[in-house]
Each structure stands twice: as structure tokens, then as C-alpha cells.
Structure 1
Amino acid sequence: MPDLRTPPPPLVPALRLPVRFTGSGAGVGELSWGQREIWLTMRRQRSWLPIGGWSRLAAGTTLAEVTDELRWMLRRYPTMRTRLRFAPDGRPLQSVADRGTVGLDVYDCPDGEDPEAFVIALDAGDRARPFDLVEAWPLRMAVVRHRGAPSHRSTVMPHLVTDGLGGRLFLAEVADRAGAPADTGTPPLEQARWQAGPAGQHQNASAVRHWRRTIARVPAPAVTGAGPYLRGEFRTTALPLAVHVLSERADADSSQVLMTLLAQALPGDGPAVLRPMVSNRFRRGFERVVAMVAQRGLCAADVAGRPFAEALRRVGAAAMGAYKYAYLDPDAVTAAFAEAGADPDAGLWCNDRRVASRQGFTGAAPAAAEVRAAPPGTFRWTVAQDDPFDPLSVDIDDDRDTDSGGRGLLLTVFTDAARLPAAGAEAFVRRAEELAVRQALQMLATAAETP
């Protein structure tokens, strides 16, 4: 396992280009529920939770074209010109500007170096550097030049700017600025105003009632987290093959199948407590907004010792409530856990971030021989740190780095070793894979025997 992480040395830009921008929707107000939830996560994890990435620029791209694109982004998306302010009582507020100047850093990659390796190091450095959420614009963009020509770009933002789906939306719109629709959804300032009004308070009250009913099934804190906090990667081709079979045979959404397998693999005999990340983009005005609207849901299901079909039904029913009531004031969630004396960190925090296979697998379901031939997944620990992650968390992504033609899954596992040690966390995801393969083979054998 690696040692605690140390940031790479910063690279020095050759120049910084000032990019002036203007935009609408300026004002100061409360954080929206989505912003407040990610702010609480940032404080808990002692991180500004950088998101973004790097990309190659098309041949012939000029610095003027990149600055025009950056100016367009800032004009279109209010969250990219939103900074924090703090009320006298310490409460965070959002401050949206209608104008300003942001710097575009330009770096020169030495002639003998690989520009891709250079931008990867640059991107890592920008993520590692502290971020001033009060004074700095929430966007770090840099261009790498190689032999005098722009070759790569890095864009890094705090998670306050947007969630994952909003990030994919803005990338698609930037790639086709001319075709981007006029509708940009409901910005966070307007969200916060609605949430403070009668309709928002009614929504919050309904959600809190659901959370209280579910929290009553959550155990009291048994262990105080103390770290170290570990991150690992589980790459598997057997799990997606089995999930494809189970999803098709049970006529169930693959996310529901994965949640059920993870729930049954959790250690312990009580109800399986799940904390899924919920998009909330099915709500009016949220489909096209580039903002943080995803929030954690909460559900509990009795699945220990149950047949898979029954466990699948129980998790599906519980998850529906989690999805419906994940739109609420995070401070009310904190208060509800405290009132009940329940563990606010209990359960599995899960985030299904797949793109390619989220809406369904391509092609026919694999045969039993293919499922049986898939090797067990590979696991490795990648990070140990003092700053906390979520207590036990699994992010699920499509894995494009496997030898299976892109049909693998990557499960990124986070654990507080004081709650669940490294060996237990690895055993947990391996158990989910084993359950999936065994159940898929049983379903295929039953289907073969049935006239």
C-alpha cells in the first residue's frame, strides 16, 4: 500500500492570459440543497474535491480560440462564476458575479518531453494545490504548448460547480457551442429561493418524514472513525457479465441488481443500509443545469439470507423511496440522525457513475460458459491518507482498461480502516462478485432446464 500522498511540485506557467467575461443571474443568497450537501462533504473530507480533467486539442487550435471558449463557458454557466461568502454566523452563501477576469495559464512543454505526460502532471498539480473558494474563480484552466503550438488543455474545478452529469452536459455543449440550446435550467440561486418558499418547505418536510422512518432502522454508532482512510480499485469482467445475465433474466435495472448484490455482500446480520447517490435531474428545471443537484439517498432492506429474487424486490422497493426523497435540506438530515441517536456514517455509500452500461448492456446476455470462464477480479490498494473519505463507499464505473473489449467494471472502494479494515473491504467486493456469478449460473441453469 502506498504511503500518505504528497503533492507534486508545481509547474510554472510561461504566461497568464487575462480573460474578461460577463454573465447574467448575479446575486448573493443561500446555498442550494445540492451545494450545501457537497459543501458539507468537502468540509468532512477536508478537500475542495477537484473534478475535471485534461484533453487533447484539435490540431491548429489557437490560444484565441481557447480563450473564446473559456469566456463562453463563464457567460453561460453561473456556477463557474460563483464564489463563497460567509454570513456573520459562519453560514456559507453563494455569490454569483456578472463580470470579472479569470486567468488562462499557458505552459510550454520542453521539446524533448511527452506533452501528454506533461499535461497529466499539470492536471495532478492543479488538483493538489489548495483552492481559495472565496477569492478565486472556481475554475483552473491551462493550455500546454508543444513546439510552440497548443496541444493539450487541463480544466479543474471544485465539486461545488457541478455534479458528474452536469459535467458531461457542459462538455457536450462546449463541443457544439452553436448547437447548445438556450435553456440552461434552473441555476442554484433560483433553486435556493424555491427551496426556502412554501413548495420547497413542503418537499423538505415530506422527505424528512421518510428519512426519519428509515433512520429508525439504522444502528447507533459502534465505532468512532479514526482512519487511516484507504482507497482501492477492483477491476472485474466477471461481475458485469453476471449482472448482464441477472438484469435480463430478472427484467430488472442493472443498478438495482448491483445494489442488491452489494447489499447481500455487506457484513453483518441487520438491515442492509444503502446510501445511493441520486441525480435529482428528473425534477423540473434540473435536466440541463450545470450545477450540483445530486444528493445522497437513504434506504434499508432486509436481505440477509434471502433468495436473490426476494432481495432484488426488497432493494428495489426501498431504493424507490431513496430516489424520491433524496431532495431535501442536508441540515435536516444531520438533525434527524442526531435526534434518533443513529450512526450518520452507517451503511454503504454507493455511486453508480457508469455511462456505457448504465442504460442497458449491448448484445445478447452471455452464456454460462462465458460467465464461468471469466477470471476473478483484481484488487489493489492505491491510497492511504489521514484526511477522511466517506466511511465505506463504492463508486461504480465502466472500465475501459480491461482486455475484455470495454466490458469490465471498475469499483473504487473507500474505507475507514477503523470501521472496516483493508482485508474486510476487499473481501466485501469480492463477495459481491462471487454472489453475482453464482446466481447468474443458477439462473442460466434453471432456464436451460425449463421447457
Structure 2
Amino acid sequence: MPELTNPPLALRPALRLPVRFAGAGAGLGELSWGQREIWLTMLRQRSWLPIGGWSRLAPGTTLADVAGELRWAVERYQPMRTRLRLDHGGRPLQSVADRGTVGLDVYDCPDGEDPEAFVIALDARDRARPYDFVEEWPVRMGVVRHRGAPTHLSTVMTHLVTDGLGGRIFLAEIADRRSAPAATGTPPLEQARWQAGPAGQRQNASALRHWARVIALLPARSTMDEGPFLRGEFRTTALPLAVHVLSERADVDSSQVLMALVAAALPGDSPAVLRPMVSNRFRRGFERVVAMVAQRGICAADVAGVPFAEALRRVGAAAMAAYKYAYVDPDAVGELFAAAGADPHAGVWFNDRRVASRQGFAGPVPADEALRSAPPGSLRWTVAQEDPFDPLSIDIDDDHDGLLLTVFTDAARLPAAGAEALVRRVEELAVREAVAMLEEEP
């Protein structure tokens, strides 16, 4: 990473440009279920969970260009002009503005400094700064100028604005504003109104029956101390090769394969409890919306001692129920856990965030020689903190020629050695089953 010589002195805006906006759909109402779930996650993790990133600006980009881009986005996407209001009991409500002014900060990178290092430092600083949900707009945008010309842009938003898929839609549309279709999808204020109505309440009641059945299988709420909370990165080239084989030969989605591998590798009693992140974008009005519509699902599958093909089938059936019933009121789910005295953090939290390989692996199915010769993955622990992550969580991303499994664990529940053993069992089991499947072929 490029180094910045004196970031504390340099990271002060040279000016703030007022960007005035006017958009449709103003109103005040309850948070949508997706917003409410990420809000509860923010409270639990004691973080506003910033999302976004930095980018290079095309040569010739002006401050007026960037201001126009910011205005276009805030006017088009209601969550980018949504702030919270607290009712008399302190419950957050969403307040969508129809007009206002958002600031665009402009920073001058000193002539002797690297502007890329500057924007990296700026992006990190804006993520670390506290956020006021009531007073601040949910977008922090900063332009970096070098020798008088805009060169880089940092955009940081609260996770209440959107989930990961919505973020990709936002980036694609803002990169080609002239060709972007008219805004489509159901924004959060309308989502919340539907959820409070008869159809939404029927969906919620059906989902809660599923949650209640799984919660009845969970252990009692833990009374042990928490933390420290650890974050590690496991990089593997063997796992995607094996998953490619298993997915192709079993003719099932690769995410289902990964869930089955995690379930089979989990230590402890059966059934294995999985908490997959579900996008909910298969629902009407959600496919192209820039909003937070992802929610956690829950399912349980008894995979102890069964052949992997059977584990794959059982996890697939359980996962379908998790996907169907992840669209639910998270407050009502919390009440179910409390009434049952069950551990709300039981199981493994699973988030398949892949883009490229999620739609299918490139190239032919690997041969068993490639599987046998692939080296074991490498793991390094990157963070230890007292503020909580999810107790046991695995995020899966594409990573050059392999996969990146980011593992989070509460060391009081599962120490670092146990978490590492889990992801290594996933890799070993995948390779073993894939080799066996190839050997069975004529």
C-alpha cells in the first residue's frame, strides 16, 4: 500500500461544496424488515457498519461532475436521503426527505504525497469517524485533488442504505447514468407499509412458524463471558476446484455444496444449524432496488454419519426453507428466542458473497490430479477486538484463482484453533468427496 507521510495534518477538507437535491417519495414510517435487521446488527456490534470504497476519477473530471453524480444518486435512491427519527420510546423510524443539501468535501493532497495513499487514508478515516443517524445524511463523499485536479473519490455510506447486491446495482447505474433505466423497485418506506399490512403480516406469521420449529432445536441461551472476537482470512485454491466438481457432478448450486460442507464440518451435536444470509431479491419489487433487503435465514439439517450425497440433499431442502422464510420481522424473531430461552447466536452464520463463481465455474471440471496436487489453504488472523462480531460466521468471496473464507469467531465459544480446524475440515472434506466422485466415474 502506498504510504502517506503526514495524514493527520493533510486530512482536512479545503472546502465543502453544498449539493442541493430534490426527490420524490418523502415520508416518515417504520424501518423495513431489512433495515431493522441491520440496525439490530449495528447495535449488537457497536458499529455503524460503513460500506463503500474509493476509486480513481477519469482524467478531466471536474468538481461539478462529481457534485452532479452525488445529486443524481441522492435524488434517485431514497435510502441515500433517509435519516432516522426516534419516537418517544426511542424506537428508530425512517425519515425520507424530499429536498435538502448534502456536503461534498474536497481535499487537497500535498504536492509531494501520493494521492492514492491519500484517498486510502481518507476512506479509512471516514469509516472510523462516529456517525450521527439522526443529523447526518447517510453518504460521506470526499474528492481528492492533486496539483489542482480531482484524481480520486471516496464514498462511504451506512449499511442502512443498501446491501451488497444493491451496492453493485448502484455502482453500475452511476457509472452509466445516461443509460440507466427509470428507477425501479420498492423503496424501504413502501416496503414497511406493505409489511405492516395484511399480506405482510401473513408472510410474517408463516415465517415465524418456521423459525419457531428451528428455535425449538437450539441449546439454551449461553451464560458464558464473551470475547475476544477474532477475524481470520482463509485462502484456498483447493476448495473451489472441489466445489466445481461436486456442483457439476451432483447438478446442484455451488452455494448449496458449500453449505453442506460447512454443515458436515461443524463440531458438536446434530442437527447442524445454519444461518445463511438471504438476499430476498427474488421477491417482487426487490430485484433492482438499491436498499437493504438481505436478511438472515435459519435452518437445521441432521447430517451426522450420512453419506455426503445425502447430506447435500438434506441441506438443500433445509436451505430452501431458510430462503423462503428469511423475509420476516426481526423483532418478532427476537421475541421467539426470548420466549424459548434459546441461544440467539447458535449455529454458523453463512454469507456466500461470490460474484463470478456463484454463477458457475469457468473451464472444464478439474481432474483428480489437480485436486490431489492443490496445496492446503493458508489462514492468518487479522483482527482481535472486544466489540462483537457475529459469534461464528463464515463469509465466502472469490479471490483471484481461489476462494477467500473470512471467519469470525467469539473465542469464548470457539477459540482460534477450533475455528481454523473448521475451515480446514471444510476444505479437506470437499477434496476427499470430489476425488471420490471422480473415481466412481467409468
Equivalents in 2 of 1:228, 1:114: separation in Å? 36
Q: In the alignment, is the contact (CA less than 8 A) between 1:104 and 1:142 conserved in 2?
A: yes
**Residue-by-residue CA offset, 1:232-288 (whole Å, 9 max, x unaligned):** 100111110110011111111000000011111111122100000000011111111
Q: Deviations over 1:355-375 (max 9, x none)?
A: 010111111111111111111
Secondary structure at the aligned position of 1:382 is classed as strand
Residue pair 2:76, 2:183 contacting (<8 A) in 1 also = no
Aligned: 1:398 with 2:392: no
The structure 1 residue matched to 2:406, chosen from 387, 405, 412, is 412
| Range moving further from structure 2, 216-225 or 81-90 | 216-225
- Whether contact under 8 Å (1:223, 1:418) holds in the other structure is no
* Aligned counterpart, 1:367: 367
What are the superposed Cα offsets for residues 27-71 of structure 1, whole Å, 9 maximum, x if unpaired?
Answer: 100000000000000000000000000111111111110000000
Structure 1 residue 222: deviation in Å? 4.1
Q: Deviations over 1:360-399 (max 9, x none)?
A: 1111111111111111111001011111000000111011
Task: Say which SS state the counterpart of residue 426 (structure 2) adopts.
Answer: helix
Counterpart of 1:3? none
Q: Does 1:441 align with 2:435?
A: yes
The aligned residue for residue 182 of structure 1 is: 182
Contact 1:225 1:416 in 2 (8 A): no
TM-score by length of 2: 0.97
Counterpart of 1:421 in structure 2 is 415
Tell me which residue corresponds to 1:229.
Answer: 229
Who is 1:139 aligned against?
A: 139
How many corresponding residue pairs?
435
Look up the SS of the partner of 2:358 in the other structure. Answer: coil
Q: CA deviation at 1:223?
A: 4.9
Unaligned residue ranges in structure 1 (runs of 5+): 1-7, 400-405
Whole-angstrom CA distance in 2 between matches of 1:171 and 1:222:
41
- Does structure 1 residue 173 correspond to structure 2 residue 167? no
Partners of 1:186 and 1:285 within 8 A in 2 = yes
- Partner residue, 1:215: 215
Q: Structure 1 pair 191/267, CA: closer, same or farther in 2 (3 Å)?
A: same
Displacement of 1:184 after TM fit?
2.4
Pairing 1:283–2:283 present: yes
Alignment of 1:22-101 (within 5 A): 22-101=22-101
Instruction: Determine if contact 2:271/2:303 at 8 Å carries over to the other structure.
Output: yes
Distance 2:186 2:251 in 1: 35
| Runs (5+) with no aligned partner, structure 2 | 1-6
Q: Match for 1:19: what amino acid? A: V
Question: What CA distance in whole angstroms lies between the structure 1 residues aligned with 2:422 and 2:154?
Answer: 36
- 1:354 partner SS: coil
User: RMSD between aligned alpha carbons?
Assistant: 1.1
Residue of structure 2 equivalent to 1:4: none
| Residue identity (%) | 80
Deviations along 1:158-214, one digit per CA (max 9) or x if unpaired, are 100000000000100001111111132111111101100101000000000111111
**CA apart distance, 1:407:** 2.4
* Offset, 1:225: 4.6
- Cα pair 2:31 2:189 within 8 Å, conserved: yes
- Partner amino acid for 1:282? F
Deviation at 1:224, TM superposition (A): 3.1
Deviations 1:403-436 (A, max 9, x none): xxx2211111111111101111111101100111
Secondary structure, aligned partner of 2:18: strand
Q: Report the Cα distance in structure 2 between the residues aligned to 1:230 and 1:223, rounded to whole angstroms.
A: 20
Q: What is the alpha-carbon distance in structure 2 between the residues aligned to residue 225 and residue 330 of structure 1?
A: 25
1:12 paired residue number: 12
Contact preservation (8 Å) 1:228, 1:417: yes
Shift of 1:445: 1.1
* 1:430 and 2:435 matched: no
Alpha-carbon offset, residue 346 of structure 1 = 0.2
Q: Which residue of 2 aligns with 1:159?
A: 159
Partner of 2:3: none
TM-score, normalised with respect to structure 1: 0.95
What letter matches 1:292 in structure 2?
A: M
CA distance in 2 between partners of 1:264 and 1:13 (Å): 52
Equivalent residue for 1:402? none
Quick check: 1:85–1:93 contact (8 Å CA) kept in 2?
yes
**Which amino acid is the alignment partner of residue 75 of structure 2?**
R
Matched, 1:252 2:281: no
Q: What is the match of residue 293 of structure 2?
A: 293
CA distance in 2, matches of 1:264, 1:9: 49
Q: Alignment partner of 1:358: what SS?
A: helix
Equivalent position of 1:5 in the other structure: none
Contact 1:184 1:290 in 2 (8 A): no
Aligned to 2:346: 346
